Amino acid sequence: MNRIAQGLTLVLLGAAALTSTVPTNMYLNWVKPGFGPFLIAAGVVTVALGVAVVAAEIRGGSRAEDDGADHSACAVAAAEGSADGGGRAGHDHARAPRVAWLLLVPVLAVFVVAPPALGSYTVERSEPASAPQEGPPSGRFDDGLDEAAPGEVVRMDIRQFVMRAWVDEERALAGREVELTGFAVPNDEGEGWYLARLQMACCAADAIVNRVLVTGGPEPEADTWWTVRGTWVEPEGELVDVSEHRFDALEWETVDNPPDPYEA
């Protein structure tokens, strides 16, 4: 990989960062929205560095710097190479190791493969979120249920729903109609299907699974997105002993994939 190839690689890496943020928001498949400005800044800087490297090489700046360098080590290596039949000829400082071509892998991933957001495959092979040890630090839930009028349908994140279902000893969810949105995951071990969302703290690598077992409706195709209105199936016994919460569907409709597939 010569200097011009190195510069072009930097340009492509920067372009990959920019095209996944500015026009498409594709970066939301892998990291939280707050990382968008940093990706844009990194892309701009990387493209600028790559252009500078290419421009310097075209202008002959690299050759001028090499002419003023100390080539004594190269001369010794060349002499030793001549003595043993050319087996250790001089080397080119303008070339990077072949492993540098691996820098193009992220570029191919963005421009050619375009990895999607995590979905049903991840949910089926991951442990769902476990019951928290305690409720929210403020003592108040952020799901809007307490402020909703009696009989009003409450829209919740799946994260908010399972948190309330696990730790609210007053069981305020009982009998209330709730609307949840997520992607479908087949349940190969029993009835119903899972409505799931993944929650991440930083990036897709640390995502955890939030899901509810939906009953009372037809099983949709995996990874399709749905909004389901229904009620919590109140469990018997202690809430913390529940392994997964059930959701009795009353109405359901397919929806478009959201721009940000993850929950905060």
| Max mean pLDDT range (39-43, 83-87, 241-245) | 39-43
The set of residues, in sequence order, having a beta carbon less than 8 Å from that of 48 and lying 6+ positions away, is 14
Per-residue pLDDT band at 130 (split at 50, 70, 90): confident
pLDDT in tens, 141-164: 889 998 999 889 999 999 999 999
Q: What are 102's two structure tokens?
A: 């691996």
Task: Please name which of 243, 245, 228, 227 lies closest in space to residue 174, comparing C-alpha atoms.
Answer: 245
pLDDT digit string, tens, across residues 14-69: 888 888 888 788 888 888 888 899 999 999 999 999 899 888 888 875 455 555 55
Residues 109 and 153 in one domain: no
Q: What is the pLDDT of residue 125?
A: 87
Please indicate, yes or no, whether residues 124 and 90 belong to a single structural domain of this protein: no
192, 104: one domain: no
Among residues 113, 141, 175, the one where a domain terminates is 113
Element (H, E) at 211: strand 208-215
**Which of 92, 113, 134 is the C-terminal boundary of a domain?**
113
**What is the reported pLDDT for 264?**
75
Q: Are residues 109 and 59 in the same domain?
A: yes
Residue 26 belongs to domain spanning:
3-113
Residues 107 and 134 in one domain: no
**234 in the same domain as 219:** yes
Domain count, the chain: 2
Do 208 and 160 sit in the same domain of this protein? yes
Specify the CATH number for the domain of residue 171: 2.40.50.140
Report the relative pairing of strands 246-255 and 208-215 from DSSP bridges.
parallel
Per the CB < 8 A criterion, the answer to whether 197 and 164 are in contact is: no
The answer on 27 and 103 residing in a single domain is yes
Whether residue 22 is found in the same domain as residue 142: no
Tell me the one-letter amino acid at 63: R
Residue where one domain finishes, among candidates 72, 92, 113: 113
Rounded CA-CA distance 193/124 in Å is: 11
**Do 127 and 255 fall into the same domain?**
yes
Residue 68 is given by DSSP the state: T
